Every structure is written in structure tokens, then in C-alpha cells.
Structure 1
Amino acid sequence: MINEQLKSISTIEINSKQEKIEYGKFINALKKQYAKVLEQSGCSVNEDLEYCPRISWIALKGWKSEYDNKSEHWWITNFLHEHALDNENEFNKNISLKYIETEEEEKVNINRANELLKIVWPEAYEQINRLVTNIYMVYDESNSNFYSTTAPYWFGGVFIKKDQEWNAINYLDTLLHESGHLSLMIKQSYVRMLNNLNDKAKSPLREDPRWLNGILHAAFALWRICEGLKRILEQPTLINSLEKKTALNLLKRYFMDLGEAIETLNNNGDFTEYGKVFFSQIIESYSKMKEEIKWLI
């Protein structure tokens, strides 16, 4: 987790020279902190290392300065267009998302999700509030299996499919999931984790084969969600019966998905020394959680 001295630094909003300087400080500090974790695990770190794969280069190479004068509407339209192109090019799927206004009930549920995280997992709450700068509701005109997304071409923006059946736990799931992608994008801007990141294999969250780098992202996101749901269920007085039922159902499903993602990466991933450290932490947490949630599920 990012240390205390970085709490006040803006990570995304880069609208002035001073903020751009602070953004640079934030990234450098995060890099040093991540390097320290790697070194403690026996990995050497090259201070000049700047590995930027396709999924994250645009997020952390000063791209935002080129678009500071663009309107929010432009960003939303551009994101949805790019997301549709990604799905068409990579998965041969047509997806059409339309931006809609966030209703009051959705705002209440999102705020409650945040407050629950603040109680049960304050580190995750703080990270989400640093990395997620905008939340937008969208309507899926194509009736696909989409439910949320984020991407480097609008780093910090999270788009969520409108669903009348959702409660605070569903939004908690989504915030942990998408902020996990943002967090890993930053890490991957400095260290390569997979030598064969573009190889494809079966993914627990997609129907079609997915890049191994995407499966690594899925494993990290799933671990975060499972950890958050476990912590919620360990304090049952915080939630009502519907929220508890939702949390239990999601935890059962996601924990199984996490196991599948780990197995796929174990069988197919060619990890770098940095990737081995990162992936081993996921496996260790998964094994520990397996014992901890026996009584929950």
C-alpha cells in the first residue's frame, strides 16, 4: 500500500504545472516503494527500468497533459468509443454503451460501499479514493455480459452498467475490481511480470481465450474482491440480510474463479523474477483465505 506521506498527492487530476510535478512525485514514490517490496523478496531493481506494456503506457507517460482542455463529455464519448473498438478487435464482439445520469439510489449505494470499505479495509478504501476519480453509469444497448470497466485511455474513470437489482455489495465488488486494474497498471509501468503476456489461455471471467496478462489482472482483481467480501462477512452487524446474501453468493463464485485463474497462470505463465514475487503473494493469500472462509461458505 502507498505510504502515509502520499495521501494528499493528486494521482490523476493534472490541470496545472504544480499538480504535474506532484503527480511525478507520486509515481516516483510509488516506484520506490514497490522496488523496496521486491528487494525484500530478493529481487534486484534497476532504477532506470520503465517497462510500459500496451495496456498501461498511455496512462503514465504524461498523456493527460495533451487533453487537459477537453470537456468531460469528450472523455466519456471517447472512452465508450475506444472500449467498443477494443471489444470488436480483440474479442470480435459488438458492444454499445450509452452514458446515463447516475440516480440518487445508485449514489447512496456507492457511498455505502465506500463507507463499508472504510471500516473493514481502510487501506483499500484509501487506494480507491486515490485511483478512482470518476464513476459513470452506462446503459448496455447491446445487451452483452458487460458490467463494469476501466482502461488506460481514461485512467481513473470507472464505468458501471446500470442494474436495478444491485445493492451496496455489488458496488463494493466493482470498486475493488476496477481499482485493482488501475493499481496493477501502475505496477506494470515499471516491472514486467510475464515474459509471455500476449499468449492466450482460458479465463474464468471471459468466454473467449484471454491474454495471460489479462488473466493476471483478473487474478489480482478477484483476490481483492474476495478479501473485501471476507472482511465484510466477518462483521455481519454492518450489513443487512440482502447484503449478506449478495456477499456470500459473490464470494463463493469469485473464490472459485480465483482458483481457476491461479491454476491457469501456474500452468501457462512464464513469470519474470518480479512476476514470481507478485504471483506468489496472490497464491499465499489464496491459500490462507481458503482456511479463513470455511466457516463463511
Structure 2
Amino acid sequence: MSSQAPGVLMPALEHIEGGTPSCPDWCRHGIEELLTDVQRVTGAYDDAFGAPNMKEATEHLESARETLRRVWPEAALETDLLIRVIVYVRAGPFRSATLRQTFGAIYLGTESVESTAAAFEALLHETGHHSLYLRNTFETFLTNGDTMVTHSLRPEPRPVAGAVHAAHVLARMTYGLTRWAAEETAPPEVSERRDNALDRLQRTIEALKPAAEWTDRGRSYFDDLLKWEQELTDARDG
């Protein structure tokens, strides 16, 4: 099966092994920023950093892209349009990240490519960050984005704007995993990841309800997110 969407001619997705001499300057700068954050949060040492097994990682990633194209083609097309480079990084507990200054690239840790289901979830997660960063360029959803709040993706307090990003990507992850879990051939890991993502989505939304101060466009966005959460909960419990 071709990895290209019908009628869309896109350059091939580039796979980069992080932390190697072949890593371009923009990639090295991005990784340095990520690893500084990992060291700050976890206290990990430099020798904990490197790259995962590239053959296995890229196989899982490409399999995830084909699965996404089958179960949610609109999301696959969005990924094809927004994501041009995958940077693979091994850095202790680091899982995945998007940096606005390297828009179009996503950074994936070992846990995010340890299986096809993990890579599928990571693609939905990081493409979601890209899409919301792009949308926020043209729309303002919050009037108190810098207010600190604790949400389910981060143990330490983060700005409300970050919690909105968390809810946005968790909704995408849950929806995509729900569609895949509906297939009889889906591995049990898919349902487990869906349930975990939905639980974190519900907890993140509960944290946002008293904390977020919305613009009119933001309130409309959040109302849609609440409806999506309810539909996903009903689909799981039904």
C-alpha cells in the first residue's frame, strides 16, 4: 500500500537518527533543548542519551502511518501535510515532543516507537500539537493562557495553554485509537491505550473547567471538545 494520499504529491517523510554526526544543525539544536529539559526534570546523565534501533523504529512508524491511513484517512492526510521529518531520540523517560521553532519535525523517544500502536498514538499526539499551534496563529482561545494548572500529562504545574494542548492531543489520540480498536484484528494494546488516553482526557478537561478563561471562539472550541469527550466515553462504554 502506498504511503501517499490519493491525489496528493508530497515529498517522502524523512527519518533522522538523533545524536549522530549526520543530524543537521537545526536538529541538534532541537535535541539539545529537549535533553536540557529531560535533564532538568529527571536528572538523567548524558550517557543515557542516544538513538533507538532505527530499523525497528522506522518499521513501527511506517506501519502506524499505514494503519492511520486506513482507520482515519483525514488524520493521515493532516499528518502528511504538517509532518515532514521524524527525529528519533533515546533520552531516558523522554517520549515525544514538538518544538515550534522546528515546525514540521517531531521528536520521538524509544517508548513512542516500541510498537506500531505506540507510534500510531505518537503521530496523533504530535500532529495534534502542530495543528493547534497553527490554529492559534490565527485564533485566540484563552485570556489567561499563562495561568498555572496541573493536568494529566505533566506532574508539575503548567500554563493553562499547555493544558489545552494536552486536551486537544488526548482527544485526537482517543478518537484514532477508538477507530482502530473497532477492528477485530486490532491488538489488545490499542484498547488499553485508548482507555488510558480517555482517562487522561477526562482528567485534563476537569482541570480546565475551573481554570480556563475562554474567548468566544475558545468557548465554542471547548464546547466541541466536551461533546467529543462524551461521545468517546459513550463509545467505550457502549
- For Structure 1 versus Structure 2, the TM-score category normalised by the shorter chain is 0.7 to 0.9
Decide whether the 8 Å contact of 2:141 with 2:214 is kept in 1.
yes
Matching of residue 114 in structure 1 with residue 62 in structure 2: no
Letter of the 1:288 partner, please give it. Answer: E
Which residue is equivalent to 2:201? 258
Partners of 1:278 and 1:260 in 2: CA distance: 18
Listed as ranges, the gaps of 5+ residues in structure 1 are 11-70
Aligned twin of 2:229? 286
| Distance change (3 Å), C-alpha of 1:216 and 1:293 | same
Shift of 1:82: 2.4
Partner residue, 2:130: 182
Provide the residue aligned with 1:61 in structure 2. Answer: none
Alignment: residue pair count: 222
For residue 215 of structure 1, what is the amino acid of its counterpart? A
Give the Å deviation of 1:163.
3.9
TM-score normalized with structure 2 length: 0.84
Matching of residues 85-234 of structure 1 within 5 Å: 85=36, 94=43, 98-100=49-51, 103-140=54-91, 143=92, 145-163=93-111, 166-234=114-182
Tell me, in whole angstroms, the C-alpha distance in 2 between the residues paired with 1:87 and 1:246: 27
Aligned to 2:32: 81
What is aligned with 1:235?
Answer: 183
Letter in 1 for 2:64: A
2:86 aligned counterpart, secondary structure: strand
Distance (whole Å) between structure 1 residues aligned to residue 170 and residue 203 of structure 2: 11
What is the DSSP-based 3-state SS (H/G/I as helix, E as strand, rest coil) of the residue aligned with 1:146? coil
Q: Structure 1: how far apart are the matches of 2:124 and 2:41?
A: 27
Query: In structure 2, what is the Cα distance between the partners aligned to 1:167 and 1:94?
Result: 27
User: Kindly tell me: are residues 9 and 170 of structure 1, through their superposed partners in 2, closer, same or farther at Cα, counting changes over 3 Å?
Assistant: closer
User: 1:99/1:150 Cα in 2 relative to 1: closer, same or farther (>3 Å)?
Assistant: farther
Of 265, 269, 272, the residue aligned with 2:212 is 269
For the residues of structure 2 that align with 1:235 and 1:93, how far apart are their CA atoms?
Answer: 38
What is the distance in 1 between the residues matched to 2:59 and 2:10?
Answer: 27
Structure 1 SS opposite 2:106: strand
8 Å CA contact 1:199–1:211 kept in 2: the answer is: yes
Change (3 A) 1:77 1:269: same
Q: Is the 8 A contact 1:113 1:169 kept in 2?
A: yes
Structure 2 residue runs of 5 or longer lacking an equivalent are 12-21
Matching residue's letter, 2:212: G
> What RMSD, in angstroms, separates the aligned Cα atoms of the two structures?
2.6
2:60, 2:113 within 8 Å by CA — same for their partners in 1? no
Q: Is the 8 A contact 2:82 2:104 kept in 1?
A: yes
- The one-letter amino acid paired with 1:269 is A
2-side partners of 1:123 and 1:277: how far apart? 22
Q: Which sits farther off after the overlay, 286-295 or 200-209? A: 286-295
Paired amino acid for 1:209: P
Are the equivalent residues in 1 in contact too, given 2:83–2:104 (CA < 8 A)?
yes
What residue is the counterpart of 1:248 in the other structure?
191
**What's the % identity of the aligned pairs?**
24
* Aligned-partner Cα distance in 2 for 1:201–1:190: 24
Deviations 1:101-149 (A, max 9, x none): 7522221111111111111100000001111111111111xx3x32011
Counterpart of 2:114 in structure 1: which amino acid?
Answer: W
